[in-house]
Amino acid sequence: MPHRRTTFSRFIIEDQRRRGGSDTELTALLNDVQTACKFIATAVARGSLKQPYTPIGVETVAAPGVNVHGEMQKPLDLIANEIFLRNCEFGGQVCGMASEEMEEPYVIPAQFPRGRYLLVFDPLDGSSNLDVNVTVGTIFSILRAPEGVTEPTVEDFLQPGTQQVAAGFALYGPVDMIITTFGEGVHGFTLDREVGAYTLTHPNMRIPEKACEFAINASNERFWEPPVRRYVEECIEGKTGPRGQDFNMRWVASLVAEVYRILIRGGLFMYPRDTRPSCKPGRLRLLYEANPIAMVVEQAGGAASTGRQRILDIKPESLHQRVPLILGSKAEVERLDRYHAAYDRGEDLKFEAPLFGTRSVFITPVSATQD
Burial of 289 by CB count in 10 Å (0-12 exposed, 13-18 middle, 19+ buried)? buried
Q: For residue 122, say whether it is annotated as part of any ligand binding site.
A: yes
Which helix (H) or strand (E) segment holds residue 289: the answer is none
How far apart, in whole angstroms, are the C-alpha atoms of residue 360 and residue 354? 5
Other CB atoms within a 10 A radius of the CB of residue 78 amount to: 21
Q: For residue 286, say whether it is annotated as part of any ligand binding site.
A: no
Kindly write down the DSSP assignment for every residue of 318-363, as one continuous string: STT-EE-EEEESHHHHHHHHHHHHHHHTTSS-EEE-GGGTS--EEE
Judge contact between 324 and 271, C-beta under 8 A: yes
Q: Please, where are the H alpha helices in 94-209?
A: 154-157
The secondary structure of the chain in percent helix, strand, coil, rounded to multiples of 5, reads 35, 25, 40
How far apart, in whole angstroms, are the C-alpha atoms of residue 37 and residue 39? 5
Q: For residue 237, say whether it is annotated as part of any ligand binding site.
A: no
Could you tell me which residues come within 8 angstroms of residue 6 by beta carbon, excluding any fewer than 6 positions away? 14, 199, 200
How far apart, in whole angstroms, are the C-alpha atoms of residue 60 and residue 38? 19
Q: For residue 355, say whether it is annotated as part of any ligand binding site.
A: no
Q: For residue 128, say whether it is annotated as part of any ligand binding site.
A: yes
Judge contact between 246 and 283, C-beta under 8 A: no
Among 338, 317, 106, smallest CA distance to 230 is for: 338
Residues annotated within a binding site for substrate:
125-128, 217
Residues annotated within a binding site for Mg(2+):
100, 122, 124-125, 289
Residues annotated within a binding site:
100, 122, 124-128, 217, 289
